[in-house]
Amino acid sequence: MTLRDRERQQTNTRAQTFAPAQRTPGAFLTRLAALDSQATSLKLRQRQRILLTPAQDDLIFALQSGVVSTRIAMATSEAGLITLYFPGDVIAAGAVPNFSERALVAATPAEALRYKSKAMLRLLATDPDLLAAYDRQRDRQASRAGLHAAILATLDGPQRLAAFLIEMALELGVAAGATIAIELPLSRTEIAQHLALNADTLSRLMSRFKADGLISQKSRHQIALRNWRAIADMCPVSAALMAIERNRPSPLN
Amino acid sequence: MTLRDRERQQTNTRAQTFAPAQRTPGAFLTRLAALDSQATSLKLRQRQRILLTPAQDDLIFALQSGVVSTRIAMATSEAGLITLYFPGDVIAAGAVPNFSERALVAATPAEALRYKSKAMLRLLATDPDLLAAYDRQRDRQASRAGLHAAILATLDGPQRLAAFLIEMALELGVAAGATIAIELPLSRTEIAQHLALNADTLSRLMSRFKADGLISQKSRHQIALRNWRAIADMCPVSAALMAIERNRPSPLN
DNA sequence: CCGTCGGGTTGATCCACGTCAAGGGTGGCG
DNA sequence: CGCCACCCTTGACGTGGATCAACCCGACGG
């Protein structure tokens, strides 16, 4: 079964829609948007997917709003990995590992600018500040990717889920009294892939978190963190996560 | 026990030395070296370490020869992760996740150029070709990092070891008759950390590989792949690994 | 109204891998 | 030479999480 088939299956039972994440993009994107450039402006519907063939290695997407994921699938077996991008992030197709299939999928409605890498490089060469912001942005994303790799490699299930909740809270959470409300842009199955866990296992973990009073759940995609401190304490990388997010504007100030 | 302590312990029992990997660096480094720049040239002894404090986030290292690793250690627990870099690679300190401790360690004797990121950006701004090569190099490394994350997240022990052997063969192997000889720049414990496996488990896996006739072993650090095809077949990502290396000069031509 | 279909939950079972412990190999050093 | 660190190997054992299967639920279409 190809990635495309799997996507198609999922599409029809996803009625709920999300507002684009409204966190403001960082220094690079604001500067980029100010330039009169030859970018193509994209509006992505939720679940819309862009296949990244090897021929498209020279495309660069700059995410303005919404949440977008890249997915890679191995030839054999169903296993895949999901990486998440948030407003302000840059997605260079050439930086996504070249598996048998790789695609970019909008987890929420999203807006992005698409460049050919040549055009982007021309822009960067003309504006030293833009270049510096671009470089820092890529450093930050590499740092996040490395952190996520460390999470998958060294932490067990509950710790991984805690890390995910913290990350989502920092990116998408809105304070609601003593709790933090989060509208999850991914299905359980997708979260499981993002965390390199089995969907069944993830479901068990979420049930346990609910039973322990760490989170509560309004609907399938709406959850609330009831005990931030406890969640942060159970995950050894929470400090590193918060350090990465501290540099960027966040809904939780 | 801090990372530094652990390193110090290991230092004294490592008599064997390695010749720097002689693979020629890629397009970016050759172009970079041609410029009269304000880089500091470093010669690293084997096992020499450079601590990367947060204050050093603006350093960029360009690896000319040898093999270098970055290591991150979590505050709690001994768990860490090891990332490997080969000649031609660029190591931006700001792209290494900011854990409680992170360091750069020479796995073999190595030569590198050290830049302040500001100086590097100035250079890049003056030479469009250099900028393009830099960008491609970072894409390639991000791609490799993503691939490694996928390996750790989705593959089981034997598959991970196979992937490691393939990668090392492509980077460091020399054809010796029907076999491929590799001089491993890492100890078993370090390989285990690189693969997010337990050292005991890794030892068992290597024994099994030996028993199955996949590899043979001259000394602790010298192994030979006796059956390339079988090793490649047991690892779902071997195609992707070879695709990434295909773009670069390799000792196995 | 019922039937179907995809996703989520939960229980029972199994196995790969981590953990603990014991022992051998090797190089450094007194 | 013998001692000491450290690295590696191998066995026994326990467990976290993958797998399989059954069931529930909400959405959609007739």
**Looking at the predicted structure, is the pLDDT value of residue A16 above 50?**
no
On whether any CB of chain B is under 8 Å from the CB of A53, the answer is: no
* Residue B216, min C-alpha distance to chain A (Å): 28
What confidence score (pLDDT) does residue B18 get? 43
Nearest nucleotide from residue A159 CA, by C1' atom = D16
CATH 2.60.120.10 for domain A3-141, yes or no, is: yes
**Tokens matching residue B6:** 């652990």
**Tokens matching residue A213:** 């009073």
Establish whether the CB of B204 is closer than 7 Å to any nucleic acid atom in strand D: yes
- The residue length of chain B stands at 253
Question: Could you tell me how far CA A48 lies from the centroid of its own chain?
Answer: 15
Which DSSP string corresponds to chain A? Answer: --HHHHHHHHHTT-----PPP-PPP-HHHHHHHHS---PEEEEEPTT-EEE--GGGTTEEEEEEES-EEEEEE-SSSS-EEEEEE-TT-EEEGGGS---SEEEEEESS-EEEEEEEHHHHHHHHHH-HHHHHHHHHHHHHHHHHHHHHHHHHHH--HHHHHHHHHHHHHHHH-EEETTEEEEE-SS-HHHHHHHTT--HHHHHHHHHHHHHTTSEEEEETTEEEES-HHHHHHT-TTHHHHHHHHHTS--S--
Quickly give A2 CA vs D7 C1' distance in Å: 45
**Taking CB atoms and an 8 Å cutoff, what residues of chain A touch B124?**
131
Q: pLDDT for A205-229, tens place per residue?
A: 999 999 999 999 888 888 999 999 9
**Looking at the predicted structure, is the pLDDT value of residue B73 above 90?**
no
Half-sphere exposure of B9 (CA within 13 A, CB side): 6
What confidence score (pLDDT) does residue A15 get? 36
Kindly determine whether residue B150 and residue A81, on different chains, have CB atoms separated by under 8 Å. yes
Establish whether the CB of A204 is closer than 7 Å to any nucleic acid atom in strand C: yes
What confidence score (pLDDT) does residue B7 get? 41
Question: Dihedrals φ, ψ of B143, to 5°?
Answer: -60, -45
Quickly give A59 CA vs D12 C1' distance in Å: 54
Nearest nucleotide from residue B195 CA, by C1' atom = C17
pTM: 0.87
Quickly give A15 CA vs C30 C1' distance in Å: 77
Quickly give A4 CA vs D22 C1' distance in Å: 29
What is the sign of the dihedral through the CA atoms of A8, A13, A19 and A25? negative
**Looking at the predicted structure, is the pLDDT value of residue A146 above 80?**
yes
Nearest nucleotide from residue A201 CA, by C1' atom = D17
Quickly give A106 CA vs D8 C1' distance in Å: 48
* Residue B147, min C-alpha distance to chain A (Å): 6
Find and list the nucleotides of strand D having atoms within 7 Å of a protein beta carbon. Answer: 5-12, 16-21, 26-28
Region A231-245: mean pLDDT is 89
Q: Are A47 and A14 in contact (CB under 8 A)?
A: yes
**Looking at the predicted structure, is the pLDDT value of residue A158 above 90?**
yes
Give residue limits of the domains in chain B. 3-141, 155-246
Across the beta sheet with A90-92, the strand order is A40-44, A110-116, A59-65, A90-92
Q: May I ask the CATH architecture of the domain A155-246?
A: Orthogonal Bundle (1.10)
Q: Which residue has the tokens 């598996």?
A: A99
**Taking CB atoms and an 8 Å cutoff, what residues of chain A touch B137?**
none
Q: Are A104 and A49 in contact (CB under 8 A)?
A: yes
What is the sign of the dihedral through the CA atoms of A251, A82, A142 and A243? positive
On whether any CB of chain A is under 8 Å from the CB of B132, the answer is: yes
Across the beta sheet with A215-219, the strand order is A174-176, A179-183, A222-225, A215-219
Across the beta sheet with A101-106, the strand order is A49-51, A101-106, A68-73, A80-85
Q: Are B244 and A98 in contact (CB under 8 A)?
A: yes
Cα separation, B17 vs B47, whole angstroms = 10
On whether any CB of chain A is under 8 Å from the CB of B97, the answer is: yes
Q: pLDDT for B12-64, tens place per residue?
A: 333 334 444 556 667 788 888 777 667 888 888 888 889 898 888 999 999 99
Q: pLDDT for B132-148, tens place per residue?
A: 999 999 999 999 999 99
What confidence score (pLDDT) does residue B38 get? 76
**Tokens matching residue B28:** 């970016």
Percent of chain B with pLDDT over 70: 84
Find and list the nucleotides of strand C having atoms within 7 Å of a protein beta carbon. Answer: 5-12, 16-21, 26-29
Arithmetic mean of pLDDT over chain A = 84
* Residue B218, min C-alpha distance to chain A (Å): 31
